[in-house]
Amino acid sequence: MRIPAAIRASQRSPLLQVVKSAAATIASWLIAGWVFPSQLPVFAAIAALLVVQPSVNQSLSKALERSIGVIAGVVIAMGLGLLLGSPSWIVLLAIVVAMLVAWIFRASPGTGNQVAISAMLVLALGSSSPEYAFARIIETLIGVAIGIVVNALIVPPVLVAPARHHLGLLGAELAASLDRLADALPNPQPPARMQELMLEARLLRPMKDAADAAIAAGEESLTLNPRRSTHRADLREMRALLERLSPIVTQVIGMTRAYADHYDDSIGEEPAVIAIAEQLRRAGHDVRLAVQIADVAPEPETLTSAIPALTAPLVIRPPSSQHWILIGSLMEDLRRIRGELVDDE
């Protein structure tokens, strides 16, 4: 029996993240237990466990969510306890009131749940006295502070490698798509191959989205990160490269679509088509060169000539009347690709 995907992640969290969560939880338990020896430091341990996140910035966000939720939940529990006493049903009332308060103030789902959980724990584990409520708030802040410190000082996560990996895959596939289209243009193609070309070109879009998401995650991981100065320039260069490659992805998909829509067996006889195919190969070379210069190539051992191949704009003679729409479309897309890859200045 397979474990349902709903309770399994696509990949394991880093072991270091587990170790840091355990260390923060243990430290919070010991320190809070020393500060408040009369109570089990449950609030501190939960706070530390929740605050250790994949990035320092996420830890700070979770710390704010946890702190506000606990303070609101403790205040609600204390108020209901002082007003209604301590019957068993007051715990259920506190949960409902906490959820309504969170809804009224448009709290995030995490904060809303935290308000309800904190109110329930205060009434279920302790009392509603102001001293007890104040101690639980301080205990939570201790756990939050320890969680942030542990995540920030013990090898804070930097998600630069995944961004480099996804961007390298996008560059390699984009260059390969340019080469495939260049090989197809001068030669007759069966319908099955035309469909294959379209499918391969359309795969570029999710690869571009994955690279964009990976770079965004890398940028987010550097926010408030003590190690950010070492990697900030790398991510800035990756973002700039993605902004150059993204329009080329659009152009390649459009060129492939135009070729499939206006294809006939005689298209390869046009001299302009042969020239366009050569320019596409040169564009593929320059995409690989840009990826190699940015140090995101998936196979660094595969060397690409350091000399750009798109050396001059393509000039062609007017094509045959039945092919001028396709060739004109290809030329315009090729002009835009060249604009992204070549600095004419």
* Claim to verify: residue 210 and residue 321 sit in the same structural domain: yes
Rounded Cα gap, residues 259 and 42, in angstroms: 65
* Claim to verify: residue 75 and residue 214 sit in the same structural domain: no
pLDDT of residue 344: 46
The pTM is what?
0.69
Q: Packing angle between helix 228-261 and helix 324-341, nearest 10 degrees?
A: 170
Rounded Cα gap, residues 44 and 48, in angstroms: 6
* Claim to verify: residue 81 and residue 168 sit in the same structural domain: no
Instruction: Tell me which residue has tokens 């459009």.
Output: 254
The first and second tokens of residue 207, run together, are: 């690869």
Domain count, the chain: 2
Rounded Cα gap, residues 56 and 54, in angstroms: 7
Q: For the chain, list residues with pLDDT below 50.
A: 1, 300-301, 303, 344-345
* Claim to verify: residue 186 and residue 302 sit in the same structural domain: yes
Rounded Cα gap, residues 115 and 133, in angstroms: 13
* Claim to verify: residue 212 and residue 315 sit in the same structural domain: yes
| Domain edge (last residue) among 153, 176, 208 | 153
Over residues 295-340, the pLDDT tens digits come to 666 664 454 555 555 555 555 555 555 666 777 777 788 788 888 8
Confirm if 52 and 24 have CB atoms less than 8 A apart.
Answer: yes
Over residues 277-296, the pLDDT tens digits come to 888 888 888 888 888 876 66
pLDDT of residue 249: 92
Confirm if 178 and 245 have CB atoms less than 8 A apart.
Answer: no
Residue 147 lies in domain:
17-153
pLDDT of residue 91: 82
pLDDT of residue 306: 55
* Claim to verify: residue 255 and residue 291 sit in the same structural domain: yes
* Claim to verify: residue 298 and residue 187 sit in the same structural domain: yes
Q: How many residues does the chain have?
A: 345
Confirm if 59 and 153 have CB atoms less than 8 A apart.
Answer: no
Rounded Cα gap, residues 30 and 40, in angstroms: 10
* Claim to verify: residue 118 and residue 202 sit in the same structural domain: no
| Domain edge (last residue) among 153, 168, 202 | 153
* Claim to verify: residue 219 and residue 330 sit in the same structural domain: yes
* Residue 224's CATH number: 1.20.58
Rounded Cα gap, residues 62 and 224, in angstroms: 14
